[in-house]
Structure 1
Amino acid sequence: MGLLSFILLLPLIGAAAVLLLPSAQKELIRRVALGAAGLSLLGALYLAFGFDTAAGGMQYTENLAWVPEMGMTYALGVDGIALVMVLLTTIITFCCLMATKADIKSPKGFFTWFLLLETAVIGVFCAMDWFLFFMFWEFTLIPMFFLIGVWGGARRDSASLSFFLYTLTGSVAMLLGIVAVYATVADHNFSMAVLAEAGAGLSTEMQIVIFLGFLIGLGVKMPIVPMHGWLPLAHVEAPVPASMFLSAVMLKMGAYGLFRAGVMLPEGLAWFVPILFALGVISLIYGALQALRQTDLKAMVAYSSVSHMGFVLIGLAGAGIAGFTGAVMQMVAHGFVSAALFFLVGVLYERTGTRDIRALSGIGRQVPKLALATSLTLLAAMGLPGFAGFVAEFHVIVGAFEGFGLAVLLISAGVLLTAAYSLRVIAKLFTGRPDPRHGAIGDLNASETATAVPLVGLLLLLGIIPGLALIYVSPTIAEIVTMIGR
């Protein structure tokens, strides 16, 4: 068994162990789940320390025949981008489970579904076979459907159904695209390397049509405006750990898939570049405008995710080293920003019983640690220098300028709107006269602090030393740019 298979199996083993435990042992169930997630994180760190950044390419590869008659293989591997996404997934999963209390309703079911979800997402990032990629992609729907539908808020049924139907509909378009390229291969092979060669040989018209299928399927997950309709409701109604994971990790699956689709269909990507830029700017500005007008803090964070993923799409539209680098760094930065914000909003709601910003004011003196963590995270969301978001946005803007010139001025509107809603929250919550309705509010406890510190700390660390991520990402991006001929 290869190392990647072992990392995939660890959450599955943890889920099986959770199922075998007595339901009454709630704290033990939580600790076993945390242990499985922690071991997965250690495995991912081991991958990073052993990754040969000089060699580049796919590493830790595994390749076993699965359904040879159909050309399906159990093929795993990670390049620099996939490795960073696996690290993000395992870090966020561990923090999500840290944020989950043992007395949650039906803890056995909750922790089981969460660990299964981690396995599926890691599988998406490690798959080197398009059919295997699709299988893992589709499986992610099931755990998240139940996490929202069983443990969500008052409108959880509508939220879970909307999430499932939107994503499933998009998946059909992506599957048709995969099959269209697969059908052109003489020996019918789903290998990403084989299909990349076959796709690059297709006519420009065919690549455009197929890339459109991938854009729809993957764009729903990102999500790209106007395919974002499922996201605000799903985020608002999902339990806090599920909101953290959905925004921090699952949205990145769509952007990651577009990287792979672009390598397979380079002329299709090139044709769509202006459209990707336009959609990215629309998502950036629309998401920020919606975030600015929200009174529910969780809805604000949900719409901010739409806006930040617009930056990722603009980076992809740059289709060069700077743009692609910015897109990947934004995926990482937004992962930590969104997870931290959803967690901190959840803590605030637990203390006060409301997420309405109009009913919250002046609590900074009562909860200095919560105020500091929230303020730092919102500053990171603004792309302030010293945070990972600044590194990402700078690369995105440089890449966009190379391709679109002064059109990048449109991006400044999104940046200013992000600053507006971020500073609005900081000013409302942590300055001014305290709201007497809430009385004494407890600050972050030890467990909550242990969850918040890694998320906020990594935003600072990657902002000050971005090379910690770029050392893995840069060689892979250089290879991708060479392959698509940009």
Structure 2
Amino acid sequence: MLKILIPTLALVPVTWMVPKKWLWPTVLLHSLLIATASLSWFKYITETGWTTTNNYLATDTLSTPLLVLSCWLLPLMILASQNHVSHEPLARQRLYISVLTSLQIFLILAFGATEAMMFYVMFEATLIPTLILITRWGNQAERLNAGTYFLFYTLAGSLPLLVALSLLYSSTGSLSFFIIQYLGPLQLSTLLDKLWWAGCMLAFLVKMPLYGMHLWLPKAHVEAPVAGSMILAAVLLKLGGYGMIRMLVILDPLTKELSYPFIILALWGIIMTGSICLRQTDLKSLIAYSSVSHMGLVVGGILIQTPWGFTGALILMIAHGLTSSALFCLANTNYERTHSRTMILARGLQTILPLMATWWFIMALANLALPPLPNLMGELMIISSLFNWSWSTIVLTGLGILITAGYSLYMFLMTQRGKVPSHLLAIEPTHSREHLLIALHLLPLLLLILKPELISGWAA
């Protein structure tokens, strides 16, 4: 763990000391080396249980894929941001990279934490760099409004979790994930116990986000710069799923009854947010709502608490992280050329940028879960475990899949096909940097087809 954490911490002084000419290449190379080194965590993935470095930080088969995804994303965010931040004063460029690095540090500490309270503190700490990214480097004037939504939704949702963890500590004497899983079921029966259950879950359901508590997400995504959108979609939403899986181990007897309304909301959310996507004009907003739809499936998979549900949820979280991050990068390449997120103003890009259209097509297919990509593995596992739990869920999940296919193809056709508008004739060509960026998103997705046990071992 420290062989990744210490180089990541060292990236902050490197950012401030390196000469201007070498700032972006040095930081990119440094972060790529960290990302490559993080793959060594997969060495112990076949072992069940924890691979411990010390009492405070450890990895297991649930946290390892999420940790590697967090490390993999930092060089990609630096690659994606280079064009629109390099025109700013040097100090602001350095600050921007430092904010991205601090976000990675907090994420490593959150996913590696062995104590529930340390996980809570790091879960909250990721809020600060994300808020700075949205409110300082966002594109439009509404970014302050989006930052306020993001801050208050997350804080209001996670304060009950703090109280719930304090109560758990006073009754069990420990918050260590090593010990909690062996405590045996708690005797929970009163109304206060049910409120305690809701307090434990609420923070994670807001972070996921569950349909009904999702209003902060499209606002935050639309206003954030490209790196903010990438990290939000790829990793920060997964903090919610990770926390839910960790906490459900100890909430066992109550979850069977109390999870019904949340499962219904999650499945209904798949239909509703998918329908919103079909009517969407704003490209980034469409990708943001599609994230809510996919996360609804993950919430359903986690809350029914079957091995297949958990495994499917973990696979879908990783696959969705790579896919939606790539879609936000593609949306950003469009935005940098047309200076508009409205899809109808930037049509027919296939004739001008044919290779970029190929990337769009592949990522749209990944978003609608094309076989044999991990997206399909995760969705099939969750849908079959939901069907096994209650056959009526097939109506909602089946409709959800149809709508997902519909809006993914709609997004591709609206941006790439059709007659080129006259205002787009003098457009900047694509750069190798952008093709490398999408290739580095697609490569892990394709490699996971060959070795899916790397991201599916937790519930086995």
Of the three residues 191, 194, 205, the one matched with 1:208 is: 194
Residue 29 (structure 2) pairs with residue 43 (structure 1): no
List aligned pairs for 1:214-293, cutoff 5 A: 214-293=200-279
The alpha carbon displacement at 1:441 in A equals 3.0
For 1:28 and 1:214, locate their aligned partners in 2 and report how far apart those are by CA, in whole Å.
Answer: 46
Q: CA–CA distance in 1 between the matches of 2:303 and 2:118?
A: 27
Contact kept in structure 2, 1:14 and 1:32, CA below 8 Å: no
Which among 3, 7, 13 is matched to residue 4 of structure 2?
7
Aligned: 1:91 with 2:61: no
Amino acid of the residue matched to residue 170 of structure 1?
G
Displacement of 1:226 in angstroms is: 1.1
Pair 1:17 & 2:3 matched: no
Superposed CA offset, 1:351-408 (max 9, x none): 1121111112211021111111111111111112122211111111111011111322
Of 380-389 and 247-256, deviating more is 380-389
1:438 and 1:119 map into 2 onto residues whose CA distance is 41
For structure 1, the residue ranges without an aligned partner over 5 or more in a row are 64-74, 479-486
Which segment drifts farther, 173-182 or 206-215?
206-215
Give the 3-state SS of the residue equivalent to 1:308 in structure 2.
helix
* Partner Cα separation in structure 2 for residue 320 and residue 450 of structure 1: 38
1:166 is matched by which residue type in structure 2? Answer: Y
Deviations 1:244-303 (A, max 9, x none): 111111000000000001112112332334233212212211221222211010111111
Question: 1:193 Cα shift?
Answer: 2.8
Identity, in percent, stands at 30
Q: For residue 198 of structure 2, give the secondary structure of its aligned residue in structure 1.
A: helix
Which deviates the most, 194-203 or 93-102?
194-203
Q: How does 1:29-178 map to 2 (within 5 A)?
A: 29-48=23-42, 50-53=43-46, 55-63=47-55, 75-101=56-82, 103-105=86-88, 106-154=92-140, 155-178=142-165
Q: Deviations over 1:101-128 (max 9, x none)?
A: 1515311110001000001011111101
Q: Match of 2:53, SS?
A: strand
Number of aligned residue pairs: 453
Please point out which of 170, 176, 181 is paired with 1:183.
170
Give the counterpart of 1:337 among 308, 323, 331: 323
Query: CA-to-partner distance for each residue in 1:156-195, whole Å, 9 max, x for gaps?
Result: 111112211211111201111111111102xx33212333
Aligned equivalent of 2:284: 298
Q: CA deviation at 1:204?
A: 4.2
Q: Deviations over 1:291-319 (max 9, x none)?
A: 22110101111111111111111211332
Question: Is contact 1:130–1:192 with CA below 8 Å preserved after alignment?
Answer: yes
Name the aligned partner's letter for residue 89 of structure 1: S
Taking structure 1 as the reference length, the TM-score comes to: 0.89
1:366/1:442 contact within 8 Å kept: no
**In the aligned structure 2, how far is the partner of 1:98 from the partner of 1:283?**
33
Any idea what SS the aligned residue of 2:54 has?
Answer: strand
2-structure distance, mates of 1:249, 1:38: 17
Aligned counterparts of 2:69 and 2:175: Cα–Cα separation in 1: 27
1:477 lines up with 2:454 in the alignment: no
Partner SS state of residue 432, structure 1: coil
Residues 389-404 of structure 1 mapped to structure 2, 5 A cutoff: 389-404=375-390
Q: 1:431 to 1:52 in 2, by over 3 A?
A: closer
> Secondary structure of the residue that 1:437 maps to in structure 2?
helix
Which AA in structure 1 matches 2:68? L
Structure 2 unaligned runs (5+)? none
Cα pair distance change 1:142/1:32, threshold 3 Å: farther
Which residue, 423, 432, 442 being the options, matches 1:456? 442
